[in-house]
A and B are shown apart, each in its own frame.
Chain A
Amino acid sequence: MVRRRFAAAGALVAAAALVLSGCANQGGGGAAQTSQAPAPAQPNNAALPAGNGQGKCAPGTSIAYVGTLAGQNAALGQAIANATELAVNQHNQANPGCQVTLVKSDSGGTPDTAVGPTQAVINNPAVLGIVGLPFSGESKAVGPALNAAGLVNITPSATNPGLTKNGWTNFFRGLGNDAVQGPAAAKWLKTKFNPQTVCVIKDDSDYGIGLATAVTQALGPAASCQGDVKTNQKEFSATVGQVQQANPQVIFYAGYYNEASPLIQQLRDAGVQTPFVAPDGVKDPEFVKNAGGAANGAYLTCPCVPQEGFTAFTQAYQQAYGTPPQTYSAEAYDAATILMSGIDKGINTRPALLQYVKTYTGQGLTKKFAWQPNGELTDTPVYVYRVDGSNIVTDSPIS
C-alpha cells in the first residue's frame, strides 16, 4: 500500500526534478566516465522526498541533522548535511501543506564534542527525527541520550557494528556496517590480489579499530602485519618503515581521509608502490586533493551505492551545492525521505515516528529499506571505488 503510493509519486517527482535541474546539465554530474563500471540507475519505485505532495503537518515541524559541519573530517559531514537539506527543500517545494524545518547542529565529529549539540536537539520539542550522526565514535557517545529521549535517528554513514548491540530502540543504520564491509573488503582483496601478506593499518577511532578487526579476521593469516596511527598524526615515518620491512602485497588502511592522505603520500615518497585499499572514511575528494597525486590508483571500499546513476538527484545536488554529491549523500537523502514520509502522513510525535520507521518498508534510491529489530538493514550492498587521476570512480560491486 505504502509502496504503491510512493511509486507513483516517485515517478512524478523524478520528472519534476529533472525539469528543475535542467540547467545544471552541462556539468554532467562532474564525474569522469572513463573505464567505469555501470552504476545502478535510480530504481523506478524509489521513495523521494516530495512524496505525493499531499503532506500535512503542523508549522515548525522539524527534523535535524546532527553531525560534523566544521569539525573533524568535515567534508564527510557536509556531504550528508547538504543531501538532507536538499531532501527537505524538495519536500517543502512539493508539499505546500507541510513545511518541514531542518535543524542543523554541528557535533564537531568527535565523541567529546557531540554530546552538547545533540542534547540541544533533544531539548527542541519540534524535532521529531534525526539524520545522523555520521561517525561511529560520536554515535556511541550520544546513543544513550537519544535512546532515552526516544528520538529516532537514522545514521547514513556510521558503520561500527557495535552500535546496534546496545539495545537502543531508536537507532537505525541506513547502510551495511563494518561487519559487512570488512569481510566484503577482505573477500575482494583475496580475489583481486590473492595476497600472502597484507598490512592492516588502523587509526585509533572506534570506526578504524572495528573495521580493522573485521578485515583482519576475514583475511586470516594473510593479515600478517599490523600498524597503528593516531588521529591527527601527520608524520608516519615509523609506519612507513614498518611497511617497508614487511613488504606486503597489499595495504589496507582502516581510518579516515585526514590521516590517509599524508600516509599514502609518505608511503609513495618512500618508494612503496604497494596497492593501497581504504574504506568509506577515506572515500572523499579531500583524500585525493590532500594526497597530492599519491592517491592515484588507490582502491576504496564502501557500503555506499554509486550515485552517478541517480541523475535527478545528482543534478539537483550539483545545482544546489556546486559539486556532485559525495559519499553517503544519497544515503542521507534516503534517510531524510523516510523521516519526512512519516511526517507527511500526519505523524506529530516522536514515539509515533519511531514506530513508523521501525515498521517501514520501501525502496530508496540506494537500496531497499526494511530494518531488523536491532536497527540493521537486511539489504546491504558494498562497492569498490578507485582513484583515477583526481576523480573517484566506481570500480565494481562486491557480490
Chain B
Amino acid sequence: MLQLINFAHSEIFVIGVFGVYFTFLALGFEPGAVPSLPIGGIIADLVLAGAVGMILAGVAAVLLERVAYRPLRRRNAPRLAFLITAIGASFVIQQLFRIFRGSNPEGTIRLLPPEPVFRVFGAPVTNLQIIIIVASIAMFFAADSFVNRTRLGRGVRAVAQDPATATLMGVNRERVIVLTFLLGGLLAGAAALFYLMTIPQGAVFNGGFLLGIKAFAAAVLGGIGNLRGALLGGLILGIAENYGQSLFGGDWRDVVAFVLLVGVLMFRPTGILGESLGKARV
C-alpha cells in the first residue's frame, strides 16, 4: 500500500507462527498425540493462540517499522535502501530464532486433524480447508472494507498515492504508516495460525522464506498495492503451481508459476487488477 515492499514480512509471519506454537505449549499441549478435547475447547484454544500470534506479529511489525524503516524515512533515503534494511532485518530475526530454538522444526502440535467433509469432483474437502477458506474470506472483507471504507483507510490510500499532498491535507503520515504495519502484522499473525494448523511442522526459523517469496510473487501477479489483487494473485499462483506439478512433474512447479507471472506482467505490467483499480481510484 505504501509503495514499499516489506521483505521482512515473512519473518513477522514466523514470529506469529512461534507465538501460536508457544501458546499451544503454554496451554499444556504436548507435541505428538492429537488431544481429544470437546470441539468448543479446541476452538477456544485456537482463537486464543491466534490472538496471541496476531498481537505478537502486530507488535513485531510496528517495532520493525520503527527500527528498520523510520530512521531511513527521516533521512529521506532512496527507496532501494528500504529494501536492504528489510532484508537485513529479515536475516536478523531468522537467525535469532535459530539461536533461540535451534534449526530443527518444533515438534508437531495438532489440535484439529483434517477430516474430509465432502467431495468435489472426487477431491476431498476437509474441515480444515473449510475453516481456512471461510476465515480468509472474512479477513479479506475486513481488511478490504477497512482500507476502502473507513476514514483511516482513506488516509492509508492517500499516503500511498502521494505522501506529500496527503500530509498537506492533514493526514498524519507517520501514524498511517505505523497503522499499516500493525495491520499487516495482525493479518500475518492470523495467517500464522492457519498455516500451523495445516502444516504442523511449520514452526522453524527459516519457515517464512519460501512463503515470503511466494507471497511477493502473488502480490506482483495480482497488482502491488491492491488487496483484492493479492488475494486473486495468491489463488491463481497456487492453482497454477499445483496444476503445473500434476501436468509436467514436480520439477516444473516453479517454472509454471513464474512463466505465468512473466506472461501476465508482459501484458499487464501492473498486475492483473493493478491498472483497472488504479484508474478507478483516480
Interface, chain A (partner B; CB < 8 A): 70-72, 74-75, 226-230, 232-235, 237-239, 241-242, 258, 261-262, 265, 269-271, 286, 289-293, 390
Q: Which residue of chain B lies nearest to A202 when distances are taken between CB atoms in the complex?
A: B250
Whether the pair B108, A292 counts as a contact (CB closer than 8 A) is: yes
Q: Which residue of chain B lies nearest to A292 when distances are taken between CB atoms in the complex?
A: B108
Given contacts A262-B199, A265-B108, 18 further A-B contacts (CB under 8 A): A74-B103, A227-B250, A230-B254, A232-B209, A235-B198, A235-B199, A239-B250, A241-B123, A241-B242, A258-B105, A265-B200, A270-B124, A290-B105, A290-B108, A290-B200, A290-B201, A292-B110, A293-B32
Whether the pair B207, A291 counts as a contact (CB closer than 8 A) is: no
A387, chain B: closest CB distance, angstroms = 13
Contacting residues, chain A, for B241 (C-beta < 8 A): 238
Q: Which of B90-119 contact A (CB under 8 A)?
A: 98, 102-105, 107-110, 113-114, 116
A73, chain B: closest CB distance, angstroms = 8
Q: Give the complex CA separation of A230 and B251 in angstroms.
A: 8
* Option from A242, A271, A290 in Cβ contact (under 8 Å) with B245: A242
Contacting residues, chain A, for B199 (C-beta < 8 A): 234-235, 262
Q: Give the complex CA separation of A269 and B32 in angstroms.
A: 15
- If A75-B104, A242-B246, A290-B105 touch, whether A234 touches B251 (CB-CB below 8 Å) is no
Asked whether any CB of chain A lies closer than 8 Å to the CB of B31, the reply is yes
Contacting residues, chain A, for B104 (C-beta < 8 A): 74-75, 286, 290
Whether the pair A228, B31 counts as a contact (CB closer than 8 A) is: no
Contacting residues, chain A, for B108 (C-beta < 8 A): 261, 265, 289-292
Q: What are 17 A-B pairs with beta-carbon distances under 8 A?
A: A227-B250, A228-B249, A229-B250, A234-B202, A234-B207, A238-B245, A239-B245, A239-B250, A241-B246, A258-B105, A269-B113, A271-B116, A286-B105, A290-B200, A292-B107, A293-B33, A293-B34
Whether the pair A238, B33 counts as a contact (CB closer than 8 A) is: no
Q: Which of B119-138 contact A (CB under 8 A)?
A: 123-124, 126
A106, chain B: closest CB distance, angstroms = 10
Asked whether any CB of chain A lies closer than 8 Å to the CB of B23, the reply is no
Q: Mark B249-272, 1 if CB is under 8 A from A, else 0.
A: 111011000000000000000000
Q: Give the complex CA separation of A390 and B109 in angstroms.
A: 15
* Option from B126, B201, B250 in Cβ contact (under 8 Å) with A234: B201
Please list the 5 inter-chain residue pairs (A to B) with the smallest Cβ-Cβ separation, ordered nearest first.
Answer: A228-B250, A292-B108, A238-B245, A238-B242, A74-B103
Number of inter-chain CB pairs below 8 Å: 87
Q: Give the complex CA separation of A115 and B103 in angstroms.
A: 20
Whether the pair B103, A72 counts as a contact (CB closer than 8 A) is: yes
Contacting residues, chain A, for B114 (C-beta < 8 A): 269
Contacting residues, chain A, for B116 (C-beta < 8 A): 271
Whether the pair A74, B102 counts as a contact (CB closer than 8 A) is: yes
Q: Which residue of chain B lies nearest to A70 when distances are taken between CB atoms in the complex?
A: B103
For B103, B116, B242, B245, which residue has the most chain A Cβ atoms within 10 angstroms? Answer: B103
B53, chain A: closest CB distance, angstroms = 17
- If A234-B199, A265-B200, A289-B107 touch, whether A70 touches B102 (CB-CB below 8 Å) is yes
A181, chain B: closest CB distance, angstroms = 22
Whether the pair A233, B210 counts as a contact (CB closer than 8 A) is: yes
Q: Give the complex CA separation of A188 and B152 in angstroms.
A: 66
Q: Which residue of chain A lies nearest to B249 when distances are taken between CB atoms in the complex?
A: A228
Q: Which residue of chain B lies nearest to A108 when distances are taken between CB atoms in the complex?
A: B103
* Option from A232, A233, A292 in Cβ contact (under 8 Å) with B206: A232
A276, chain B: closest CB distance, angstroms = 16
Contacting residues, chain B, for A289 (C-beta < 8 A): 31-32, 107-108
Whether the pair B245, A70 counts as a contact (CB closer than 8 A) is: no
A260, chain B: closest CB distance, angstroms = 10
Whether the pair B207, A238 counts as a contact (CB closer than 8 A) is: no
Q: Give the complex CA separation of A325 and B114 in angstroms.
A: 35
A156, chain B: closest CB distance, angstroms = 20
Contacting residues, chain B, for A227 (C-beta < 8 A): 249-250
Contacting residues, chain B, for A235 (C-beta < 8 A): 198-199
Q: Give the complex CA separation of A87 and B108 in angstroms.
A: 34
Contacting residues, chain B, for A242 (C-beta < 8 A): 245-246
Q: Which residue of chain A lies nearest to B128 when distances are taken between CB atoms in the complex?
A: A269
Q: Give the complex CA separation of A290 and B105 in angstroms.
A: 7
Q: Which of B228-242 contact A (CB under 8 A)?
A: 241-242
Whether the pair B242, A237 counts as a contact (CB closer than 8 A) is: yes
Contacting residues, chain B, for A291 (C-beta < 8 A): 108
Whether the pair A228, B251 counts as a contact (CB closer than 8 A) is: yes
Q: Give the complex CA separation of A151 and B116 in angstroms.
A: 57
Contacting residues, chain B, for A71 (C-beta < 8 A): 103
Q: Give the complex CA separation of A241 and B242 in angstroms.
A: 9
Contacting residues, chain B, for A230 (C-beta < 8 A): 250, 253-254
Contacting residues, chain A, for B253 (C-beta < 8 A): 228, 230, 238
Contacting residues, chain B, for A74 (C-beta < 8 A): 102-104
Whether the pair B32, A292 counts as a contact (CB closer than 8 A) is: yes
Q: Give the complex CA separation of A232 and B205 in angstroms.
A: 11
B249, chain A: closest CB distance, angstroms = 6
Contacting residues, chain A, for B98 (C-beta < 8 A): 70
Q: Give the complex CA separation of A237 and B200 in angstroms.
A: 14
A277, chain B: closest CB distance, angstroms = 19
A137, chain B: closest CB distance, angstroms = 16
Whether the pair B249, A226 counts as a contact (CB closer than 8 A) is: yes
Q: Give the complex CA separation of A238 and B247 in angstroms.
A: 10
Q: Give the complex CA separation of A390 and B33 in angstroms.
A: 11
For B104, B207, B210, which residue has the most chain A Cβ atoms within 10 angstroms? Answer: B104
Contacting residues, chain A, for B110 (C-beta < 8 A): 292
B94, chain A: closest CB distance, angstroms = 12
For A74, A75, A269, which residue has the most chain B Cβ atoms within 10 angstroms? Answer: A269
Q: Give the complex CA separation of A291 and B113 in angstroms.
A: 13
Whether the pair A290, B246 counts as a contact (CB closer than 8 A) is: no
Q: Give the complex CA separation of A227 and B207 in angstroms.
A: 22
B33, chain A: closest CB distance, angstroms = 7
Q: Give the complex CA separation of A303 and B144 in angstroms.
A: 56
Q: Mark B69-90, 1 if CB is under 8 A from A, else 0.
A: 0000000000000000000000
